[in-house]
């Protein structure tokens, strides 16, 4: 069975990207140039480029063309997504290691975050998420037992906290802060980076309709990950976020 023409074009461009002949930020041939070069229809050329964009290898900008995406994974700043889904969308393998899963007393600071008494119980989990074996996120999470009473019984090596919490306590609101930071020794060891290495940290608190569900600190190695989004301002009064070239090529 003959290989479809769009796959031939897609695979040739992908080989040029992965070999380094086309580097991050460089423009790739346009639809018209591919039509002339391969003798195909414009629809065929467009499909080849769009498949590479959907997989995160290209960024397509209307009126300007298609450009090679930065190879580092990128997570959206505006969406709360399951990191396992993001990795799967890139055709990569997600694994997670559970470093801690326990019950603790809230204490003063967490009591304020959750609006509970310092002696009240919270659940605490610490995981490292890997993409094709490479650590890309350290997840330090506190959970309200009233919203997820069976949290400690879950196998988070097989499902993510995000996936489980989305099922039992659907998200109604969230607030978060993104900041540049350096890796504390324990986080650095888990992410396999040097202590004090530059990192990105997302601090997020999520709410159901009843209560605060979770408070999490998500730390990403700065040299392996990006946070960003694509905003569409063409519709008045509305901002649509779309995945920006992989867009991400990454939340829990």
Residue 18 domain flag:
yes
Q: What are the start-end ranges of the E strands in 170-234?
A: 173-182, 198-207, 212-221, 226-228, 230-232
60 lies in the same domain as 148: no
Distances (CA, A) of 184 to 124, 136, 181: 18, 15, 9
- Quote the tokens at residue 246: 């992989």
pLDDT score for 229: 55
26 lies in the same domain as 133: no
Residue 251 domain flag:
no
pLDDT score for 19: 83
Q: 45-65 pLDDT, tens per residue?
A: 999 999 888 877 888 877 778
pLDDT score for 249: 37
pLDDT score for 244: 39
145 lies in the same domain as 205: yes
- CATH number of the domain to which 11 belongs: 1.10.10.10
Q: 126-143 pLDDT, tens per residue?
A: 999 999 999 999 999 999
Residue 152 domain flag:
yes
11 lies in the same domain as 133: no
Distance of CA 61 to the CA centre of its chain: 21
86 lies in the same domain as 147: yes
46 lies in the same domain as 82: no
Q: Which domain holds residue 26?
A: 5-68
209 lies in the same domain as 228: yes
Total number of domains in the chain:
2
- CATH number of the domain to which 146 belongs: 3.40.1410.10
109 lies in the same domain as 59: no
34 lies in the same domain as 155: no
Burial code (b: 16+ CB inside 10 Å, e: under 16) for 119-156 equals: ebebbbbbbbbbbeeebbbbbbbbbbebbbeebeebeb
Domain termination residue (choose one: 68, 99, 115): 68
Domain termination residue (choose one: 47, 68, 89): 68
Predicted TM-score (pTM) of the model is 0.64
Backbone phi, psi, residue 35, to 5°: -60, -45
Residue 38 domain flag:
yes
pLDDT score for 241: 41
Residues of the chain with pLDDT under 70: 1, 70-80, 224-252
142 lies in the same domain as 219: yes
pLDDT score for 70: 63
């Amino acid at each position: 069975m003959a290989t479809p023409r769009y796959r031939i074009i897609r695979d040739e461009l992908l080989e040029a990207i992965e070999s380094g002949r086309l580097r991050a930020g460089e423009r790739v041939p346009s639809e018209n140039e591919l039509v002339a070069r391969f003798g195909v229809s414009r629809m065929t050329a467009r499909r080849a480029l769009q498949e590479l964009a959907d997989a995160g290898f290209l960024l397509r900008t209307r009126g300007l063309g298609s450009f090679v995406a930065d190879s580092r994974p990128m997570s959206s700043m505006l969406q709360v997504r399951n990191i396992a889904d993001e990795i799967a969308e890139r055709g990569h393998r997600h694994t997670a290691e559970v470093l801690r899963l326990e019950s603790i007393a809230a204490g003063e600071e967490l009591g304020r975050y959750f609006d509970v008494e310092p002696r009240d119980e919270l659940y605490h989990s610490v995981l490292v998420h890997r993409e094709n074996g490479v650590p890309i996120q350290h997840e330090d999470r506190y959970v309200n037992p009233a919203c997820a009473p069976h949290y400690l019984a879950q196998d988070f090596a097989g499902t993510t906290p995000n996936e489980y919490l989305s099922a039992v306590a659907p998200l109604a609101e969230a607030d978060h802060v993104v900041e540049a930071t350096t890796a504390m020794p324990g986080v650095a060891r888990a992410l396999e980076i040097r202590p004090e290495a530059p990192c990105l940290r997302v601090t997020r608190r999520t709410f159901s309709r009843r209560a605060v569900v979770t408070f999490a600190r998500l730390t990403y190695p700065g040299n392996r990950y990006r946070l960003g989004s694509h905003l569409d301002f063409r519709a008045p009064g509305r901002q649509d976020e779309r995945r920006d070239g992989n867009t991400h090529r990454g939340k829990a």
